[in-house]
A and B are shown apart, each in its own frame.
Chain A
Amino acid sequence: MDGEVLTQPLFRSLGWTWWTKRPSYLLVFLRESSSVFIAVQVVLVLVLLHKAGQPAADYQAYLDFLWNPGMVVFHVVSIVFALWHTYTWFNLLPQTVAIRIRGRRIPGLLLVAPQFGGWAVVTGLIIAWVWWVGAA
């Protein structure tokens, strides 16, 4: 074409719908989405703490709201997301922290397993403490 070089480069992006394109993307997107549920649950607990300092009737009304069936469904969904956060977070540590012994990375399991162990202990202790207070 008269020696003229035609170039109109075409940019093709993975696009904002990347998270729909493969299961591995979706799982990451769900991991990131856990943050929304965590944030809402923090707000719900904040209100609970606030209501705890109010008259008993106000507090009870909030508990009734928090424990109505629709909200319980939301809590169950939230806890699934929170557990997905826990699971993915613990498993990603070996990629972030490279502990080397004589140049070789230590096995990831050595970093991952103690976290799950710690999680089980912390969760167990808190439930035991709540149980102990509530049963008293």
Chain B
Amino acid sequence: MRGRSHEPIFWSIFGMGGVIAAMFIPVMIFVTGIGGAAGWDAVTGALAHGEDGIGALLNHAPVRAVLGLIMALASVHAAHRIRHTLIDLHVHAPPAVLIVASYGAAAILSALIAIVLALF
């Protein structure tokens, strides 16, 4: 076990997050950032404030759970990539610092996502 790495934990979540991000992030950006701005009425209506709009999208607990999972996994995925990219850019930081900073940020983000969706 000497020197055995715990990277498999990060790598496997990174992998799941990568699939999830590949599947869902483009459409998420389209719906929240582009469709409404482009004047697509259906998106504007779906994102309107209140029970008939965004409320209707998010009022089901399973929908919120799935959305939360997607966003949390995408965060860890991004954190892992950013960490390895910094290393490959020859950023000389102690490995533990990068690990705490990147996955720590993703964990805080995931917690906020869980709180906001639970209280919705």
Residue from A39, A67, A86 in contact with B22 in the complex, judged by beta carbons closer than 8 Å: A86
Closest residue of A by beta carbon distance from B52 = A136
Closest residue of A by beta carbon distance from B44 = A134
User: Is B113 engaged at the interface, CB distance under 8 Å to the other chain?
Assistant: yes
Q: Number of residue pairs across A and B with beta carbons under 8 Å? A: 164
- Judged by DSSP, the binding face of B is helix
A48 and B27 alpha carbons, distance in the complex (Å)? 16
Q: How far is the CB of A51 from chain B (nearest CB, A)?
A: 9
Whether the Cβ atoms of B22 and A16 lie closer than 8 Å is: no
Point out the residues of chain A lying under 8 angstroms from B21, CB to CB. 38, 82, 85-86, 89
Whether the Cβ atoms of B36 and A46 lie closer than 8 Å is: no
Whether the Cβ atoms of A49 and B33 lie closer than 8 Å is: no
> Which of B32, B55, B56 counts the most A-chain CB atoms under 10 A from its CB?
B32
Whether the Cβ atoms of A41 and B43 lie closer than 8 Å is: no
Whether the Cβ atoms of A85 and B82 lie closer than 8 Å is: no
A-B pairs with the 5 shortest C-beta distances? Answer: A134-B46, A75-B33, A134-B45, A35-B81, A67-B37
5 contacts between A and B (CB under 8 A): A39-B109, A43-B109, A45-B71, A59-B49, A133-B53
